[in-house]
Amino acid sequence: MISLFKKKVKRPDAPLAMRRLIVLREVFVKALATPPADKITEWMKSWSEEDRDKFINGFEVKFATRERQIRSADLWADLNGDERTFIRSGVLETTEQQRIDASWLAESIVCLLWALGRVDHLPKYDEETGHELIAAHTGGSVRELVKTATLRPQQEIGLQRDFAELWHWRCRTRKLLESGEIPSDLGNGMTMETVIGLSAAKAAEAHAFEALIENDFPTFGKPFCKMNVTEFAAVTSIAQERHKAFNWLCGYAPDNRWSETPTGT
């Protein structure tokens, strides 16, 4: 479940964390600005060729401007290959999966915002981070943001990392139980329900959340095991993104490479 690496790690410093935050914000903003593929297809059915060209060219100008801004802020080297591809892709080239994946970066962004002291609290794990919160706390000169960046104490960041891993573990446990990949009865009188209850109780004691519901993690006013499919998918995405962000902040990624950050539980 919670397993801290024993080897010595080099954690990202505050300037690097701020640069990563700004990069993720740019990718996230691109996702927000890109219409869903099905909407574009629907719109184009009634458009003339001139309308279509105007639409595509408008986005090309918008996206090219964002790329120039990233380059002028000396951040292009901070982007990994997938991020560069996404930033440079045209409105018709961006896949729906790319857009969805980028939209969930809000959960990683809010973790970096919190670690950098720009927000006081993290949303609950059954509460998606709104784009309004990100817009309100990521403005300003890139140079000044990087220059003045500071991180919370590592002990505080490490505790939130443990909480994120614990939530991610609960998500994976439910998935494995539903698929039959792990048994509900572990033998010797022990069941996964007991293990989950004990883990939830310890998490509540550590203030990972306010209180248990029916001996389980609390989500949407009910126990974790009773979430519907849509709710479960949302909490899983939230936990996975936050787990990745906090693992990266704790130095778990090789040479701090964001795309290689592990999220095993």
Dist CA 258 CA 160 (whole Å): 18
d(C-alpha 43, C-alpha 40), whole Å: 5
> What is the per-residue pLDDT across 69-85, written as a single tens digit (0 to 9) for each?
999 999 999 999 999 99
Residue 68 reports pLDDT greater than 70 = yes
6 pLDDT higher than 70: no
Q: What is the pLDDT of residues 127-172, one digit of tens each?
A: 999 989 888 887 788 999 999 999 999 999 999 999 999 999 999 9
In the chain, % of residues over pLDDT 70:
97
Asked if pLDDT for residue 115 goes beyond 80, the answer is yes
Residues with Cβ < 8 Å from 92, sequence gap 6 or more? 40, 56
What angle, rounded to 10 degrees, do the helices at 154-179 and 229-249 form?
140
- Residue whose C-alpha is closest to residue 211's, from 167, 228, 219: 219
Instruction: Give the global pTM.
Output: 0.91
Question: Could you read off the pLDDT of 92-110 as tens digits, one per residue?
Answer: 999 999 999 999 999 999 9
